[in-house]
Amino acid sequence: MKNEVEYGAQGILGLLVPQANTTAEPEVQILLDPDIALLTGRMTSPGADMPERLNDFLKNIDQFISTFSNAPLSGVGFLITGSTYHFEHDEEDAHFEQLSQRYGYPIISAGQSIRRAFAALGVKRIGLVSPYPQWLTAESSNYWKRTGVQIVGTEAPQSEGGFHNIYTLRNDQVLAAAKRLLPLKPDLILLAGAGMPTLGPIIALSDLGCAAVSSNFCMAWQLMQMTSKDYLNRDALTRLMSPTAPWRKAFALRYPSAVCL
């Protein structure tokens, strides 16, 4: 990556997140290496229900990218999985490759990021923690099954409601759901949904000997691979997953109340 402005000596990246998402930015920011600047764009929709909004986010992606104007971006992440669950994987890859060619820098979806993590790690059996309504959990499950993995179990965190069921979830609720999957001995637990808090549970699960990733986690990995275009770099991913990864200390310092005890 290269940068022609003061902040972000290793490059400036764009991140597109749903309009009310309160989780994606804090998590991705913490995960990124030093000297990478992140600009966030809000994807908005007047849709009254979730299916309509998910469709709008993908359909209007050019409009949302345009909000970055001529900022010298090195790439963009489309950080919402629900908008692309309907795609066959080759269709999704082709769609985002066409966008990348049009804009002249990589544009990667959250779904691609997680699929690449599965491939890089060679996982075969996953546990799924899904904060979605039942219909979207079913779409999500089918999408992951098309990668060739077996879903050994699915759990939903208990929601307290509020302005949005996913965004008001707490780390202890997510961790409790993930722990219910541990007896099934998955290769990896996927904490689905870019609006669900995941970094505290990822640390806690790692300390229990179980690897876990999320949309935000995998997107941060992929954003940092945009300079090399080595999107299946296992070493880079396992460094991010390491118990000694620098982001863990940064997370505890920045959001101490979010650390799972």
Q: What is the pLDDT of residues 11-38, one digit of tens each?
A: 899 999 998 888 999 999 999 999 999 9
Q: Which residues contact 216 (CB under 8 A, 6 or more apart)?
A: 23, 24, 27, 28, 31, 79, 194, 198, 199
72: pLDDT strictly greater than 60:
yes
Predicted pLDDT at 163: 41
Domain annotation covers residue 5? no
User: Which amino acid, one-letter code, is at 195?
Assistant: G
CATH at 34: 3.40.50
- 86 and 137, same domain (yes or no): no
Looking at the structure of the chain, the number of domains it has is 2
Q: What is the pLDDT of residue 1?
A: 47
149 and 200 together in one domain: yes
Same domain, 106 and 155: no
Q: What angle do CA 164, 180, 125 make, to 5 degrees?
A: 100
pLDDT digits (tens, 9 = 90+) for 76-130: 999 999 999 999 999 999 999 999 999 999 999 999 999 999 999 999 999 999 9
Percentage of the residues of the chain whose pLDDT score is greater than 90: 81
Phi, psi of 57 (to 5 degrees): -60, -40
Q: Which residues contact 48 (CB under 8 A, 6 or more apart)?
A: none
Specify the pLDDT at position 162.
47
> Is the same domain home to 49 and 73?
yes
Residue 43 within a domain: yes
CA-only gyration radius of the chain, Å: 17
Q: What is the pTM assigned to this prediction?
A: 0.95
Q: Which domain holds residue 173?
A: 116-214
